[in-house]
Amino acid sequence: MYFAALLARTEDGWEASDTELDDVETLSDLADLAREASPDEDTVLVLIEQEDGWFGVVRVDGEEDPRIYVSDAAAAARSSYGEILLTDELLGREPGDDGADLDALDLDGTEDGEPDDDADDTDAAADAGAAGAVPHGPVGDAQVLEDLGVSEKELRSMTQDAVNEIAEALGASEVLETVR
């Protein structure tokens, strides 16, 4: 179960709207959705929470690139919504570097129809797959909410109910409750 909400900062305070992410396939789609929530190019936060698993914060300030924080990359990688946030850049990988080159791997244990007696190839394949591994724990910009009153230390210490804790720290808990 997941929950996603947009918090848009306006002259009158925070405005919240719950959002469906079913049509969002990329981080660019998500950033466009956030920008639509604030025609004045104000700060918009996308808060995503997967129950008992992870949470993510995406901050969009006008046309700037989105800033992202994910509490547990490995847990988020198992979620279709988390995969949207876990870009190559966020994970420190070169674009398109998804780990091992599948054409180079000997997946059936044979090469040119011959049995493979050399176990070293198996170890090399395992090492190549590990290169694309997603780290356990937080990734991204832990200072994404610093200027809004949520310190890096506070953000990193949040676990369950993080979305509510963030909204409370921002003074937006009442508006968030209206969409929960």
**3-46 confidence digits (pLDDT tens):** 899 999 988 899 998 788 888 999 999 999 999 888 788 899 99
> Three-class SS of residue 102?
coil
pLDDT of residue 98: 53
pTM: 0.78
Segment 54-74, tens digit of pLDDT: 999 999 998 899 999 999 999
77 Ramachandran zone, left/alpha/beta (phi>0; psi -120 to 50): alpha
Which residues on neighbouring strands pair with residue 49, listed in sequence order?
A: 3, 55
> What residues contact residue 47 under an 8 Å CB cut-off, 6+ apart?
3, 4, 5, 6, 7, 55, 56, 57, 163, 166, 167
Q: How confident is the model at residue 96 (pLDDT cuts 50, 70, 90)?
A: low
Segment 113-137, tens digit of pLDDT: 454 444 444 444 333 344 457 888 9
pLDDT of residue 71: 95
CA distances from 116 to 107, 119, 129, 133 (A): 11, 8, 19, 26
Segment 97-109, tens digit of pLDDT: 554 444 444 444 4
Residue 35: which H helix or E strand, with range? helix 27-36
Average confidence (pLDDT) over 149-177: 92
Dihedral Cα 36, 38, 44, 45, nearest 10 deg? -60
Residue 129: which H helix or E strand, with range? helix 120-130
